[in-house]
Chains A and B, each alone.
Chain A
Amino acid sequence: MAELTVLKGAEGRDLTRLDEYRAIGGYSALERARGMAPQEVIDVINEAELRGRGGAGFPMGRKLSLVPPAEKRNGGPAYVVANADESEPGAFKDREIMRLVPHRFIEGCLIAAHAIQAKNVFIYIRGEYLAEYLVLEAAIEEARLAEIFGDVDVLVHRGAGAYICGEESALLESLEGDRGQPRPRPPFPPVAGLYMQPTLVNNVQTIASVPAILEMGPERYKELGAESAPGTVVYSLSGNVDRPGNYELPLGTTLRELIFEHGHGVAEGRALKAIIPGGSSVPVFTPDQLDVALDFDAVQAAGSYLGSAAIIVVDDRACMVQLALRAEKFYMHESCGKCTPCREGTRWLVQLLEKIEAGDGTQADLDLVTTVCDRIEGKSLCALGDFAVWCVGSYAEKFRDEFQQHVDEGR
């Protein structure tokens, strides 16, 4: 069994309780961090090469370095914003982290606040996560009463159902009390984020990985996981697999190990058909890619993205045209409407896919799917436009026969 860093200690102990978390050394990493200069904390996180778990894999240390230090802010504040909006289809790990180890997450927030000398932490949690919100609030209250916060304030802000608010600039708009529509960038949040002040935005799991780094030291942390992406990650495994669930494993675990050893494979008598390696937004893999290691660079080299490490397993009962239509309906619904290619393009793709799925599609319709994809990709303000294309485009390319059959045989 590999060493854990995020969910460590949660089996057999109720780590939602402060005394239990303290009994396993909880909040000692914060104490250590507070005994260090902010820049030293940033150096440690940099050395550990912790990469963001929210989707893009951006090094957290580098992001911390982009926030101007207090002496260069003319007395202005900086903010820490934890992205707990988790809405990527296939992902359910941040929820588990908040439910099982809320104090580790809070501890990570406080260490990040020390590193950028921020006095305010905002946790933006998706509105649907009611149970998790309550656990988090209780943990925050306990930590506050125990005077762990010092002069830092931690506030949980509840979302209200909008996938786009997981995108960091849309999240900031939403947190400011506006519609959650992405901002043009630059400037990026570390320079001008919440209320136009320097802001560190990180995913729940990225932040919850920080205490272990301070406890173990970057050298030992780097012994875990892949060369280019150290540490462990909580993989969310779902779909047609015998034992779905969250599995914390070293980064770089192969798809084969995750799906067959941990997930016990597809049901008896079924065959594996497709694997979506990073949440519904990323290009699909085929079974011949089972040996791809699940780390950021390896998955990208194989033509997709690790994204939020949400692996969706598809067996031979599924129709890829139907899945493409279902995925595209999601992006159509979640498009914030700010730019035309994404707003109109997703609608158009849904109409085309509906026709093809119903068996009424023509060759021209199928060809148009590719054309419309080309007109959205890279031409939108935020990555949602790309997401809306990568899923459908890759299904249509890799499962061409199935799409073609719908056109040729009217089903």
Chain B
Amino acid sequence: MKSAENAAHFQREIDRLKSRYPHPRSAVMAALRLAQENHGGWLPPEALREVADAMDVTPAHAQAVASFYDMFNLQPVGRHIVEVCTNLSCALVGAQQVVEAFEEQLGIPPGETSDDGEVTFRLIECAGGCGYAPVVAVDNRYREPTRPEDVTAIVEAIRGG
């Protein structure tokens, strides 16, 4: 965030979040989520500092909370995030083949971001869609079920949009 105006706007948003709870500290996760959205999907050190300032907690606390949860990214991510569940129910009905199809189509292994910065590809734990497996989430929107033969179209849609 660059300008003082942006900082003031962020503070107002955080104050609104804080006011919803009996104890303002409860808004830490919401503040981190907002900061992450403002910073292109991840939390660089300055984002953690902004959260700490606006929340009136120490930077160490902001960092400690952020690092605890899988959905807070402490490394840069692509513009889109593709996630494949590989937990039991998905594994039993072919999640591995879906993973391989994405590897091939995206040209990167799980855990990496494509060179053009477009797509981050990762494996996740149970997404709560086990009955519609294998489950894939694209930018947090579930695609259930996803078969290996669906992967080309998914990747084209991401790259095109």
Chain A contacts of B25 at CB under 8 A? Answer: 176-177
**Contact of A211 with B by CB under 8 A:** no
Report B92-127 CB contacts with A as 1/0, cut-off 8 Å: 110000000000000000000000000000000111
CB pairs A–B below 8 angstroms (9 shown): A127-B33, A128-B127, A130-B140, A178-B65, A236-B130, A240-B93, A244-B132, A312-B130, A326-B86
B128 touches A312 (CB 8 A): no
Chain B contacts of A392 at CB under 8 A? Answer: none
A240 touches B128 (CB 8 A): no
Q: Would A314 and B69 be within 8 Å (CB), given that A92-B128, A177-B25, A334-B125 are in contact?
A: no
B68 touches A162 (CB 8 A): yes
B141 touches A126 (CB 8 A): no
**Contact of B74 with A by CB under 8 A:** no
> How distant is A25 from chain B, measured CB to nearest CB, in Å?
29
A239 touches B64 (CB 8 A): no
> How distant is B17 from chain A, measured CB to nearest CB, in Å?
10
A127 touches B130 (CB 8 A): no
Q: Would A175 and B125 be within 8 Å (CB), given that A239-B89, A280-B87 are in contact?
A: no
Selected from B23, B86, B88, B131, the residue in CB contact (under 8 A) with A280 is B88
Selected from B64, B126, B128, B133, the residue in CB contact (under 8 A) with A129 is B128
A330 touches B26 (CB 8 A): no
Q: Which of A26-34, A151-159, A225-233, A396-404 contacts the other chain? A: A151-159
Report B7-21 CB contacts with A as 1/0, cut-off 8 Å: 000000000000011
B130 touches A318 (CB 8 A): no
**Contact of B29 with A by CB under 8 A:** yes
**Contact of A246 with B by CB under 8 A:** yes
Chain A contacts of B86 at CB under 8 A? Answer: 326
Q: Which 9 A-B pairs have the closest CB atoms?
A: A161-B70, A160-B69, A238-B130, A177-B28, A161-B71, A177-B25, A238-B89, A89-B126, A244-B131
A314 touches B130 (CB 8 A): no
> How distant is A129 from chain B, measured CB to nearest CB, in Å?
7
**Contact of B155 with A by CB under 8 A:** no
A313 CA to B93 CA, complexed, in Å: 11
**Contact of B158 with A by CB under 8 A:** no
Q: Would A323 and B88 be within 8 Å (CB), given that A176-B25, A236-B130 are in contact?
A: yes
Selected from A89, A94, A131, A326, the residue in CB contact (under 8 A) with B142 is A131
Q: Would A160 and B21 be within 8 Å (CB), given that A91-B128, A175-B26, A310-B130 are in contact?
A: no
A87 touches B133 (CB 8 A): no
A92 CA to B30 CA, complexed, in Å: 24
Q: Would A128 and B89 be within 8 Å (CB), given that A92-B128, A158-B30, A177-B65 are in contact?
A: no
Selected from A176, A179, A237, the residue in CB contact (under 8 A) with B64 is A179
Q: Which residue of A lies closest to B144 (CB)?
A: A92
B93 touches A89 (CB 8 A): no
Chain A contacts of B93 at CB under 8 A? Answer: 239-240
**Contact of A386 with B by CB under 8 A:** no
Chain A contacts of B33 at CB under 8 A? Answer: 127, 158, 160
Q: Which residue of B lies closest to A247 (CB)?
A: B131
**Contact of B27 with A by CB under 8 A:** yes
Chain A contacts of B89 at CB under 8 A? Answer: 89-90, 238-239, 244, 312
Chain A contacts of B92 at CB under 8 A? Answer: 238-240, 312-315, 318
